[in-house]
Amino acid sequence: MCGINGIIGIENRDVSAHLLSAMNKKMAHRGPDDEGIFADSDIALAQRRLSIIDLSAAGHQPMWCNDKRYCIVYNGEIYNFKELRFDLERAIYGSNNKPYHFKTSTDTEVILAAYSRWGKNCLEKLNGMFAFAIWDTQNKELFIARDRLGIKPLYYCKNNNILAFSSEIRALLESDIISRKINHEAFTDYLRYQTVHAPQTIIKGVFMLMPGHYIQANTKEYKIEKYWDLKNYAPQKQIDLPYAEVCKKVNDLFEKAVQRRLIADVPFGAFLSGGIDSSAVVAMMSKVATSKVKTFSVVFNDPQFSEAKYARIIAEKYQTEHHEIMLNPDDFKDELYAALSSMDHPSGDGPNTYVVSKATKKAGITMALSGLGGDELFAGYEIFNRTLKLQKWQWLAAIPGISIAAQVNEKLRPGIASSKISELFELNSLQFKNTYPLSRKVLLEEQIMRLLTPLGYIRKNQVAELIKAIVPNSFGLLSAVSMAEISTYMQNILLRDTDQMSMAHALEIRVPFLDYQLVEFVMSLPDKYKVPLTPKKLLCDALGDMLPSEIVNRPKMGFTLPWKNWLKNDLNEICQTQIQAFKHNPYFNEGEIQKLWQRFLNDDPLVPWSRIWYLVVLQFWISENKIQF
């Protein structure tokens, strides 16, 4: 686990080395164990290293293959690297190449050897989370790739004939190759969904390489290609496996996914909230691990927000070495500026992960497993049930005056739910591709139009465009929701926040639910196997008595903090300062921002804390990174 940087197109190696040194310094937090820079005419590669596998100096990067043709910088983990190494050492698969002689025990060298043997087709053989770049000294070409599900980030920008890439936006900005100009089209996307959806970012001219894609570049041009697509694993309608066999397959794939992610040469643990997903991870870790599992939970004095009792049930059942991180407003306030400063890209989420990651790292843990991805894969969110209901309510949309009735209901029962129902019945139909873009909205369209000036407001909805492009009509409703959640909310908020907040403490997070083989199998199943009659029924049935009934049947709380109380009291001054700073932003109506803030303070049901906090985060990030309008 590391951070990588690179530039192609600068002839002067001293200039490119100087730029990469500045970029590396900006993300030193990602790799405190080592750093390296290679610079030559037209190419420069750099890396910051967090040692997880082969802690010796042999893992230094940039790393060269045996014949010195290829040079790599790499961020991530390849979980099947030992099997691939076995094959590469023996020239398996009928290759004409000679067996590769390894000099290190790293997975980095396995990628080098695999690329030497198979070229871009090596991507089909890698099971892991990764972003890497390989320079071909013979053909003068750069190959950059990102993992199938976008677990590890990779940003890039182009300025004339110079192409630069990095694990972080802030490192790209430090290079001065790209200007610190705001992407004004991103504001509407951010206000709708508390993030900016890839490939766009908050910065003009900076893009995120999409999951399952690679870049091939030389000093004159570059092209982007797709090597993996979740759409290819559309539900097989003719599949007729017995349910017990499906459960066994899920169990087997999940066990292998967890077992693969325990490969490390450093101490490891797990985040444990006490929910189904994190409990499933800890249960399976306890089954396959050779030592006692260390677990970490955030707890509060306020029982309304604390999940401590559920986490303890799992910790006691599996006799884990359990650590409770007690959080109070003063602790969080002390950490807030550090958490916000650690954001590489603004988001409405993230500080939760920052706090638990810091405590986990402080306990001597360098790698931890997370239950992220379980909700998306096994229909854990309420949107799955809601989408099924909307399908049954198609006839409602045809009733004359239904939209007027919804508006009356909104006035009689003001709140977010009523407002969304009102906007829902203004749609042409209740088909999934129409209703889904509304589900994750933070602010509704009328509110956004008031907050933004005409300079900032963009009518096109990025999520709606993505859904049209990625979700085939052949998908069942539950599979369609999974596809949408994985491709929007999970990739652009959860995974990005997890990476930037954990790497702020040089902590690696692994996500077994996103093992691509498990994802491909579950996504290929028809909806009949995944209907959430009970919470995440397929997953729970697959694990059987590994999950206690108290966990399976508990109310879903989510991993949240008592934000409303904090924003009104302990964090009031911080919020007020950032809200006032919007007067300098030409894309926002500062008066409307102030009104929204006052409505929150007055307990307006239409303005919960989340409608304020992500504005605070946005303005803080803009100021912190000296972004120009």
Q: Which amino acid, one-letter code, is at 455?
A: L
Q: How does DSSP classify residue 442?
A: S
Look at residue 308 in the predicted model and tell me its pLDDT.
87
Q: How does DSSP classify residue 7?
A: E
Look at residue 456 in the predicted model and tell me its pLDDT.
81
As for how many domains the chain has, the answer is: 3
Look at residue 410 in the predicted model and tell me its pLDDT.
45
With a cut of 90, say whether residue 557 has pLDDT above it: no
Local confidence band at 417 (pLDDT 50, 70, 90 cut-offs):
low
Tell me, yes or no, whether 355 and 503 share the same domain: yes
Closest CA to 162 of 6, 38, 344, 4: 6
Q: What does the pLDDT look like over 501-553, one tens digit per residue?
A: 999 998 999 999 999 999 999 999 999 999 999 999 999 999 999 999 999 98
Cβ distance 307 to 283 under 8 Å?
A: no
Local confidence band at 405 (pLDDT 50, 70, 90 cut-offs):
very low
Look at residue 433 in the predicted model and tell me its pLDDT.
86
- Does residue 460 lie within any of the structural domains? no
61: left (phi over 0), alpha (psi -120 to 50) or beta: beta
Quickly list DSSP for 62-118. Answer: SEE-TTSSEEEEEEEEETTHHHHHHHHHTT-SS-SSPPP--SSS-HHHHHHHHHHHH
Alpha-helical runs (H) found in 147-288 = 169-174, 186-193, 243-260, 276-288
- Does residue 186 lie within any of the structural domains? yes
| Residue at which a domain ends, from 182, 212, 228 | 228
pLDDT, mean of residues 588-595: 94
Tell me, yes or no, whether 215 and 273 share the same domain: no
With a cut of 70, say whether residue 485 has pLDDT above it: yes
With a cut of 70, say whether residue 276 has pLDDT above it: yes
Local confidence band at 166 (pLDDT 50, 70, 90 cut-offs):
very high
Q: Global pTM?
A: 0.92
Cβ distance 376 to 490 under 8 Å?
A: yes
Measured distance CA(272)–CA(312) in Å, rounded: 9
With a cut of 50, say whether residue 591 has pLDDT above it: yes
Tell me the percentage of the chain whose pLDDT exceeds 90.
62
| Residue at which a domain ends, from 500, 531, 552 | 552
Cβ distance 619 to 585 under 8 Å?
A: yes
Tell me, yes or no, whether 215 and 247 share the same domain: no
Local confidence band at 499 (pLDDT 50, 70, 90 cut-offs):
very high
pLDDT, mean of residues 99-112: 93
- Domain, as residue range, for 110: 2-228
Class of residue 624 by CB neighbours under 10 A (exposed 0-12, middle 13-18, buried 19+): middle
Tell me the percentage of the chain whose pLDDT exceeds 70.
89
Q: Which amino acid, one-letter code, is at 123?
A: L
Q: What does the pLDDT look like over 321-380, one tens digit per residue?
A: 999 888 776 677 778 888 999 999 999 887 778 887 888 888 888 889 999 999 999 999
- Does residue 467 lie within any of the structural domains? no
Local confidence band at 401 (pLDDT 50, 70, 90 cut-offs):
very low
- Does residue 532 lie within any of the structural domains? yes
pLDDT, mean of residues 303-332: 84
Measured from the Cβ of residue 553, the count of other Cβ atoms closer than 10 Å reads 12
Look at residue 335 in the predicted model and tell me its pLDDT.
81
Tell me, yes or no, whether 102 and 216 share the same domain: yes
Q: How does DSSP classify residue 588?
A: B
Tell me, yes or no, whether 126 and 274 share the same domain: no
Tell me, yes or no, whether 244 and 209 share the same domain: no
Local confidence band at 563 (pLDDT 50, 70, 90 cut-offs):
confident
Local confidence band at 383 (pLDDT 50, 70, 90 cut-offs):
very high
CA 189-191-195 angle, 5° bins: 60
With a cut of 50, say whether residue 406 has pLDDT above it: no
Look at residue 95 in the predicted model and tell me its pLDDT.
56
Look at residue 240 in the predicted model and tell me its pLDDT.
78
For helices 516-523 and 477-485, angle between their N-to-C axes, nearest 10 degrees: 150
- Does residue 527 lie within any of the structural domains? yes
> Which CATH number belongs to the domain containing residue 83 in this structure?
3.60.20.10
CA 283-517-523 angle, 5° bins: 95
With a cut of 90, say whether residue 31 has pLDDT above it: no
Closest CA to 77 of 265, 359, 211, 343: 265
Tell me, yes or no, whether 255 and 348 share the same domain: yes
Q: What does the pLDDT look like over 192-242, one tens digit per residue?
A: 999 999 999 999 999 999 999 999 999 999 999 999 999 888 787 667 789
pLDDT, mean of residues 426-444: 81
Q: How does DSSP classify residue 158?
A: E
Look at residue 426 in the predicted model and tell me its pLDDT.
61
Cβ distance 266 to 366 under 8 Å?
A: yes
Local confidence band at 407 (pLDDT 50, 70, 90 cut-offs):
very low
- Does residue 441 lie within any of the structural domains? no
Catalytic residue ranges: 2
Q: What does the pLDDT look like over 86-101, one tens digit per residue?
A: 999 987 665 566 788 8
Omega into 32 within 30° of 0, i.e. cis? no
The three-state secondary structure class of 296 is: strand
More confident residue, 420 or 415: 420
With a cut of 70, say whether residue 317 has pLDDT above it: yes
With a cut of 90, say whether residue 455 has pLDDT above it: no
